Amino acid sequence: MTSYASPAVTDTVLNFIDGTYREGSEGKSFPNFNPATGEQIGLVQEASADDVADAVAAARNALNGRWGSMTTSERVKLITAVAAEIERRSDDFLAAEVADTGKPRAVAAHIDIPRGAANFRMFADVISTMPGESFITDTPDGGQANNYTVRKPKGVIAVICPWNFPLLLMTWKVGPALACGNTVVVKPSEETPRTAALLGEVMNAVGMPDGVYNVVHGFGPGSAGEFLTSNSDVDAITFTGETRTGEKIMQKAAVGVRDVSFELGGKNAGIVFADADLNKAVEGLSRAVFMNTGQVCLGTERVYVERPVYEEFVARMKEAAEGFKPGAIDDPAYLGPLISAEHRDKVLGYYRRAVEEGATVVTGGGTPELSGPEWAGFFVQPTVWTGLSHDSTVMREEIFGPCCGVIPFDEEDEVIALANDSPYGLCASIWSENMSRGHRVAAAMDVGVCWVNSWFLRDLRTAFGGSGHSGIGREGGVHSLEFYTELTNICVKL
Ligand SMILES: O=C(O)C(=O)/C=C/C=C/O
């Protein structure tokens, strides 16, 4: 049986289909690891094609059953109860998330788990207060017509979510999906299945109708994710993760012309002007580079600093980087592991590539000296480079690790061009005490989100997402409704 509250125990993480937990029908499973220790902590039951078909059918049946006939206020009451139950079981969600990710308990306790509840509450509010649209039209016969719009759920939504903020990013999609009356089949990352599975217990506890929320596990080609995106009874697909995976999903979505909502990769820039408050800039950018061990889609991996403050900024980022301590999980400065041995090796490959391309390693560049079995996992050193060209590999490709390259600039137009010279367009941060410059440069960024003198400050009502290779569509507040509902305009001749 799954024991989320004691993740050190080897246990089985099950699929959750039509309100019940079940093993994969083909008896296949795959290992689940704690990235801090590197130890296997469980087995995950792999959903077969039949299991995924059952989950989609359960979601369809729920739409055609009690869930589909519920009023908005009945749905709002249920998803508000989900939020409360997540909070009541926050210790279990915390244990499950830390077991799966190895992330600092402080990060999971202050970001991941609270956002799990907040995401449901946010969209309960949005769907309760969202105004409709209507127009009184003058008609050729001298009369009038009333045009008004009604929103209806899109149907069965496939939710494919990543391993860096598993509960946060899954509920960022499931919250609005359910608020709008859809049903979901969730395919969590194979690295982090636990909190998605645990949410099934919450759904049952609050009396969510069976089939509204389903979870199927799997990884790679020929498994649950592919079965799900290929299932013609899935009405739309939402995905957060790597750009190249998004491209593959989009190909599947094309069959049947299914809508997609994507938050994909990024190579986000931080720009520090000479008139910046360096205390703010170093605090904000050291979080943007090193928080969650750099495994944040919004993270910063390239920093441009106006020349007069370049040397001081580099020295202060070195100090900040060395303040992050791998292998000290209860220390607020703890730098957790990367999610897997594979990802650790990928990041170390970029560390080597940086040196090959002429980087000066200001700090880090390898793996930390850690002793003890509890730190035998996938740790790397927080790293800062100088001496790299803007066109170097590590300044152009998304690494998704605790590292950044720092490059000097001289002119505002120059740095705007550098920051925008990327196929990605997710976010940026601007650091300057000159507010007209802050507004001006932020507006010049070709990104979905730009922070000024801040980073990762989130108002869930705002438009969130990226352009170019960073995604399609926006999530957040009323923006999520564009994806999770279909509009019908009704014109009544008066
Ligand atoms: O803050 C959010 O709503 C969000 O989506 C964060 C994404 C982080 C990705 O790594």
CB 453 within 8 A of CB 272: no
Task: Please give the structure tokens belonging to residue 414.
Answer: 């120059």
Q: What is the structure's pLDDT at 90?
A: 97
d(CA 317, CA 331): 20
CB 158 within 8 A of CB 234: yes
Ligand 1 contact, 2 CB (< 6 A): no
Task: Please give the structure tokens belonging to residue 205.
Answer: 């506890």
Ligand 1 contact, 297 CB (< 6 A): yes
Give 298 Cα–ligand 1 centroid separation in angstroms: 7
Scan for tokens 């079965």, then name that residue: 227
Give 112 Cα–ligand 1 centroid separation in angstroms: 10
Tell me the one-letter amino acid at 207.
G
263 catalytic per annotation:
yes
Give 22 Cα–ligand 1 centroid separation in angstroms: 30
> pLDDT of 252-282, one tens digit each?
999 999 999 999 999 999 999 999 999 999 9
Sites in the chain below the pLDDT cut of 50 = 1-9
Q: Which of 458, 460, 483 to mutate to test the pocket of ligand 1 (most atoms within 8 A of CB)?
A: 458
CB 380 within 8 A of CB 407: no
**Considering only CA atoms, which of 260, 298, 283 is closest in space to residue 447?**
298
Give 120 Cα–ligand 1 centroid separation in angstroms: 15
Domains of the chain plus CATH, in order, are 12-264+470-493 (3.40.605.10), 268-452 (3.40.309.10)
> What are phi and psi for residue 27, nearest 5 degrees?
70, 15
Q: What is the structure's pLDDT at 100?
A: 96
d(CA 117, CA 95): 16
Q: What is the structure's pLDDT at 371?
A: 84
Q: What is the structure's pLDDT at 124?
A: 98
Give pTM, 2 decimals. 0.96
d(CA 59, CA 67): 10
Ligand 1 contact, 268 CB (< 6 A): no
Q: What is the structure's pLDDT at 4?
A: 44
Which phi-psi region, left, alpha or beta, contains residue 138 (left: φ > 0; alpha: ψ -120 to 50)? Answer: beta
* CA-closest residue to ligand 1 atom 7: 297
The 3 state secondary structure assigned to the chain is CCCCCCCCCCEEECEEECCEEECCCCCCEEEEEECCCCEEEEEEECCCHHHHHHHHHHHHHHHCCHHHHCCHHHHHHHHHHHHHHHHHCHHHHHHHHHHHHCCCHHHHHHHHHHHHHHHHHHHHHHHHHCCCCEEEEECCCCCEEEEEEEEEECCEEEEECCCCCHHHHHHHHHHHHHHCCCEEEEECCCCCCHHHHHHHHHHHHHCCCCCCEEECCCCCCCCHHHHHHHCCCCCEEEEECCHHHHHHHHHHHHCCCCEEEEECCCCEEEEECCCCCHHHHHHHHHHHHHHHHHCCCCCEEEEEEEHHHHHHHHHHHHHHHHCCEECCCCCCCEECCCCCHHHHHHHHHHHHHHHHCCCEEEECCCCCCCCCHHHCCCCCCCEEEECCCCCCHHHCCCCCCCEEEEEEECCHHHHHHHHHCCCEECEEEEECCCHHHHHHHHHHCCCCEEEECCCCCCCCCCCECCEECCEECCECCCHHHHHHEEEEEEEEEC
Ligand 1 contact, 122 CB (< 6 A): no
Q: Which ligand 1 atom lies nearest to the CA of residue 164?
A: 10
Q: What is the structure's pLDDT at 2?
A: 41
CB 173 within 8 A of CB 260: no
Ligand 1 contact, 458 CB (< 6 A): yes
> pLDDT of 25-43, one tens digit each?
999 999 999 999 999 999 9
CB 29 within 8 A of CB 44: yes
